Amino acid sequence: MGSKERKAFDNPVIEWVDSRLPVFTMMQKEYGVFPTPRNFNYFWNFGAIAMVMLITMIVTGITLAMHYDPNAANAFNSVERIMRDVNHGWMIRYLHANGASFFFIAVYIHIFRGLFYGSYKKPRELLWILGMLIFLLMMATGFMGYVLPWGQMSFWGATVITNLFSAIPLVGDSIVTLLWGGFSVDNPTLNRFFALHFLLPFVIVGVVFLHVWALHVTGSNNPLGIDVKGEQDTLPFHPYYTMKDTFGLVVFLIIYVAFTFFMPNSLGHPDNYIPANPLVTPPHIVPEWYFLPFYAMLRAITFDFSLYLCGAGAIGGYLIYQYAWRKAPDECCKSLTVPLLLAAVVLGVPGALLAFFKDVPALHGVIDMIPFKSVSLMPAKLGGVLTMFGSIAVLFILPFLDNHPVRSALFRPWFKPAVLVLLVVFIVLGVCGSKPAEGFWVPLAQIMTLAYFSFFLIAIPYFNNNEPVLKLPNSIHEAILAVPKSLVIGLLAIGLLAYAPSAAEAKVRADSEQPSPSAPEDKAEVPPVAEEATPAEAPATAEEGAAIAPEAKEGESEHAAPASEEAAHPAEGAHHAVPLPRQDWGFQGPFGTYDRAALQRGFQVYKQVCSACHSMKRVAYRNLSALGYTEGQIKTVAAEASITDGPNDEGEMFDRPGRPSDHFKSPYANDNQAKAANNGALPPDLSLIVKARVGGPDYIYGILTGYEAPPAGVELASTQHWNKYMPGNKIAMPPPLGDGAVSYEDSTPTTVDQYARDVVEFLAWASEPEMEERKQTGLKVIFYLVIFAGLLYAVKRKIWAKVH
Amino acid sequence: MSADNSPQQHGPADGETRRDFLFLTAAAFGAVGAGSVAWPFIDQMNPAADTLAMSTTEVDLSPIEPGQAITVMWQGKPVFVRRRTPEEIKMAEDVDITTLRDPQTDEARVQKPEWLILVGICTHLGCVPQGQKSTDVRGEFGGWFCPCHGSHYDTSGRIRKGPAPKNLAVPKYTFLSDKSIRIG
Ligand code: FES
């Protein structure tokens, strides 16, 4: 960058600036003429895509922070205010929430690309390590960001993850107290998480700068993994890769906005639309999908490390070291191999019995005979935490584990299948992480964890010494890629296309099946395509698993008060909720809209029936204009409620008629009064009920129409009722609707079924008042992006025409 | 990078035009897109729907005696409600409006002469003038005095002296009854 070799610019203003601060010269050098290997495939787009996602997250994040209130009492409300009242707030928030997922998708693909083509190898070790640092910072940022909406998953996610540190011997509990700033996750925790969530992205920007700097020192790797030999191997970054990156970016954005505008909550958890409640944990806690593989490894360590296991492990480690890490084992070791193996087996059998087969009744007799079985060198909790952090640590040290001379997997006959297996292992781990930790998911996660570490600690060192070194192409220029580029694009496109419908289908399945806690295993089949698809689909699919993993929604605080035990422990529950039938709702699908007449009828049902017990605090009377009511009608409706206001000049509270700006009046003064009036079961607020339940509108409709006489032999307490769609079947809410209970002004039938349909339509609107605007905007955005992508593709082809 | 790979150097003239047209279209398309993305991120700073909905305030006038004033909050701003004495009304009405910086008759500024309703924000740079409490300095014209930079307002809230350019603003209000108004 020395000003000596600087070339003058024609534009006098640019020249004036550049001669004083050569930013333009630097841009020109690093992004204009920067020599870039000419054989990049589309996997090389994801660095630039990740960069754009980072900027998107910062821009949306800062605008959200202008409206967000990091206070435990008001955080949830302020997020809902962003969704309902702030101009375009719903769009900005959904862009941010889904942006996190797509940032991780881009980064995961970027990382796997580096892994596959050996981009972590000399001389790019530090580049890789900086990238891993970015990944780690992203995980911290993502985790803290998920806490901010202060819903149930936020709160319990924060509790679980901060409690990881309590596994640290001696100081663990003090560290956790320090993190919390109290004795549980609470307001101080939220405040500091907000501060850090705001700070860390800028730290990421700093490390990204170093990452890019390091890249520009060594230059990019390429699919062949061989060094650039000269000018004929490279192209200037601009316009070749600026255009190619932009085209790839726009294609990526199309998928991103499709999620944002048409299924904005499919990557989140319905539980997070329930305000945080420190007294009730949701039955099935899962982190965001991008943490699932690591979460699975955390949970895989279900056993204490007994003397036997550690002994067998030490011997195994020694043998692995001798046979995999060294070129040839020591002479003395060679002769000792058989006895050592024997010893490992002798120790391993009781070790394995204690670790994995403790619960098999047939083996109790044998296990009881093992001496010193209570001696444990490391508790399971610490083991799990170390395993999870270790799984990231091995990625950091990968450049030093792998010193095989060939970079790209294309020319590594052993590494290539191994790294693809690693991808599958990682995906399977993600699926395991999304399931309840029971049944065969536990051993599966354990085997996959072992496989994950074996790749780094056994396979890679072994390959160093034994994998044949193939003859590499002489230069990039000579090696016209054997695979036509269109094939790569085709595969990518097929993968993405195959994913979208399968995701939709999985969603449909989740919706159509009852969110019964009793049938987790048979629900969330991973669409098979994910297994062979690109890594883009991999994490997303794992997440789908999470999103559709069934959860028993009605917690203790809600209707299911006495029944929640069954709900949480499905295995013991004698009765299962029947599958939830899928209804045909006019407001679903990309073109769906609300039916105004149904909304008005639904509001009537809510007002005359539901509002006797259920509040709807987040909806204001003025919002009713969306139902087609006139200003005068709204004023009349509002004035029917008497709202407590004040204090007046005398310092007293007083009642006044409601105004359109007031929110719906709650039937009870506070939650305690509501509980007392309802046999201890709190009727949940209905403002978000459709978004806060797995199955959404189908579930609410199911509950409203699912009342039956209990099957023979079932005892119900006097305050309980039998509902075939309720998880656990026992519900505290008496059947709310009866034929003819509400008289409609038009000729719509006054049946329970019709009431249920209408009120669900109304509740769906209350949950997502922005839905129609969201879909309309989404269609426009996608239409625009598709045309733009077409234009960019034409531009890109024109520019590249000379090169091909 | 050798020059013969550069797209600008090649192609017959018509290809050149078509390419230029394509590049321009794509660039224009991108610019329009960037512009439309910017708007929601700017507009989010405008008042939100709930803020806009809260934009009326009702005031009970019955406790205010002649000569007294109260300050109420409307849209986050102070609103002065002053019940003027006959002398004050006369003072306000007798002014020759051609001498005023911001000429306005007193009738144009009140609905009922007894009640003067003003946004209590100095039109200079936004301080709240003094004069609401009987103990306050009311300036040389018996109305309000802004201590920030010395603006004097008369008993109709008109600027008479000092740096402020305009009279104190009159908000939109309606008499709901003789003894109550709604502002906004
Ligand atoms: S702000 Fe009142 S005089 Fe300047």
Task: Give me ligand 1 centre to Cα B88, in Å.
Answer: 23
Phi, psi at residue A377, to the nearest 5°? -85, -25
Q: Which residues of A560-588 are buried (b: 16+ CB within 10 A; e: fewer)?
A: bbbbbebbbebeebebbbeebebbebebb
The answer on pLDDT for A650 being more than 90 is no
In this complex, the residue of B19, B26, B49 whose CB is nearest that of residue A792 is B26
Asked: is B51-183 a CATH 3.40.50.300 domain? The reply is: no
**pLDDT for the residue A511:** 43
In this complex, the residue of A35, A236, A791 whose CB is nearest that of residue B25 is A791
**pLDDT for the residue A753:** 93
Least confident of A80-89, A179-188, A193-202, A527-536: A527-536
Kindly indicate the confidence band of residue A508, based on its pLDDT and cuts at 50, 70 and 90. very low
Q: How far is Cα A560 from Cα A553, in angstroms, rounded to an integer? A: 9
Q: How far is Cα A15 from Cα A56, in angstroms, rounded to an integer? A: 31
**pLDDT for the residue B6:** 42
Q: How far is Cα A394 from Cα A426, in angstroms, rounded to an integer? A: 14
From residue A70, give the alpha-carbon distance in Å to each of A103, A272, B27.
24, 16, 41
- A92 contact residues in B (CB cutoff 8 A): 40-41, 44
The answer on pLDDT for A569 being more than 70 is no
Surface-to-core class of residue B5, CB atoms within 10 Å of its CB (0-12 exposed, 13-18 middle, 19+ buried) = middle
| Residue A81 sits at the chain B interface (C-beta within 8 Å) | yes
Q: Which of B149, B152, B160, B167 most suits a substitution to test ligand 1, by most atoms within 8 Å of the C-beta?
A: B149
- Per-residue pLDDT of A174-191, as tens digits, reads 999 999 999 999 999 999
Q: Which of B118, B119, B122 most suits a substitution to test ligand 1, by most atoms within 8 Å of the C-beta?
A: B122
Amino acid at position A604, single letter: Q
The answer on pLDDT for A117 being more than 60 is yes
* Mean of all residue pLDDT scores within chain A: 86
Sheet hosting strand B151-154, strand order edge to edge: B142-146, B151-154, B159-161
- The three-state DSSP-derived secondary structure of A369-411 is CCCCCCCEEECHHHHHHHHHHHHHHHHHHHHHHCCCCCCCHHH
Task: Give me ligand 1 centre to Cα B70, in Å.
Answer: 21
CA A150 to chain centroid, in Å, comes to: 16
Three-state SS for A279? coil
Please compute the mean of the pLDDT values over residues B39-43 and round it to a whole number.
94
Amino acid at position A318, single letter: Y
- Catalytic site includes residue B124: no
Q: Please name the residue of chain B whose CA is at the shortest distance from the CA of residue A235.
A: B1
Three-state SS for B97? helix
**pLDDT for the residue A363:** 82
**pLDDT for the residue A332:** 82
| Residue A84 sits at the chain B interface (C-beta within 8 Å) | yes
Contact B45 A66 (CB under 8 A): yes
Q: Where are the domains of chain B?
A: 1-46, 51-183
Kindly indicate the confidence band of residue B42, based on its pLDDT and cuts at 50, 70 and 90. very high
Contact A236 B1 (CB under 8 A): yes
Q: Which of B10, B124, B149, B152 is catalytic?
A: B149
Kindly indicate the confidence band of residue A485, based on its pLDDT and cuts at 50, 70 and 90. low
Taking each continuous run of H as one helix and of E as one strand, the counts in chain A are: 28, 8
Query: Which residues of A belong to the active site?
Result: 216, 220, 244-245, 288
Query: Over pLDDT 70: what percentage of chain A?
Result: 87
- Per-residue pLDDT of B104-113, as tens digits, reads 999 999 999 9
Q: How far is Cα A612 from Cα A470, in angstroms, rounded to an integer? A: 77
- B1 contact residues in A (CB cutoff 8 A): 33, 35, 231, 234-236
Q: Which residues of B15-46 are buried (b: 16+ CB within 10 A; e: fewer)?
A: eeeebeeebeebeebeeebeeeeeebbeebee
**pLDDT for the residue A271:** 94
Q: How far is Cα B103 from Cα B172, in angstroms, rounded to an integer? A: 19
Contact B43 A802 (CB under 8 A): no
Residue ranges of B 60-79 with Cβ closer than 8 A to chain A: 63
**pLDDT for the residue A546:** 37
Three-state SS for A745? coil
Residues with CB under 6 A from ligand 1: B 122, 124-127, 146, 148-151, 162-164
The answer on pLDDT for A232 being more than 90 is no
Interface test with B, best of A802, A803, A804 (most B CBs within 10 A): A802
Least confident of A179-183, A252-256, A710-714, B127-131: A710-714
Amino acid at position A484, single letter: P
In this complex, the residue of B22, B48, B54 whose CB is nearest that of residue A81 is B48
Contact B44 A88 (CB under 8 A): yes
Contact A803 B5 (CB under 8 A): yes
Residue A450 near residue A422, CB atoms below 8 Å: no
| Chain pair A-B, CB pairs under 8 angstroms | 79
Which residues, 6+ apart, have CB-to-CB distance to B1 below 8 Å?
A33, A35, A231, A234, A235, A236
Count of CB atoms situated within 10 Å of the CB of A405 = 12
CA A60 to chain centroid, in Å, comes to: 18
From residue B94, give the alpha-carbon distance in Å to each of A113, A650, B156.
85, 38, 11
**pLDDT for the residue A411:** 93
Amino acid at position B135, single letter: T
- Min Cα distance A196 → chain B (Å) is 23
Atom 4, ligand 1: residue with shortest CA distance: B149
| Residue A576 sits at the chain B interface (C-beta within 8 Å) | no
Q: Please name the residue of chain B whose CA is at the shortest distance from the CA of residue A34.
A: B1
Q: Report the predicted TM-score, pTM, of the whole model to 2 decimal places.
A: 0.86
Which residue from B141, B119, B144 is spatially nearest to B129, judged by alpha carbons?
B144
Kindly indicate the confidence band of residue A531, based on its pLDDT and cuts at 50, 70 and 90. very low
- Min Cα distance B39 → chain A (Å) is 9
Q: How far is Cα B149 from Cα B162, in angstroms, rounded to an integer? A: 7
Least confident of A257-261, A526-530, A579-583: A526-530
Atom 3, ligand 1: residue with shortest CA distance: B149
> Could you tell me which residues are beta bridge partners of residue B71?
B80
Q: How far is Cα B70 from Cα B64, in angstroms, rounded to an integer? A: 7
Continuous H helices in A35-122: 46-65, 75-84, 89-116
Contact A87 B46 (CB under 8 A): yes
The answer on pLDDT for A350 being more than 50 is yes
Task: Give me ligand 1 centre to Cα B148, in Å.
Answer: 5
Q: Please name the residue of chain B whose CA is at the shortest distance from the CA of residue A64.
A: B44
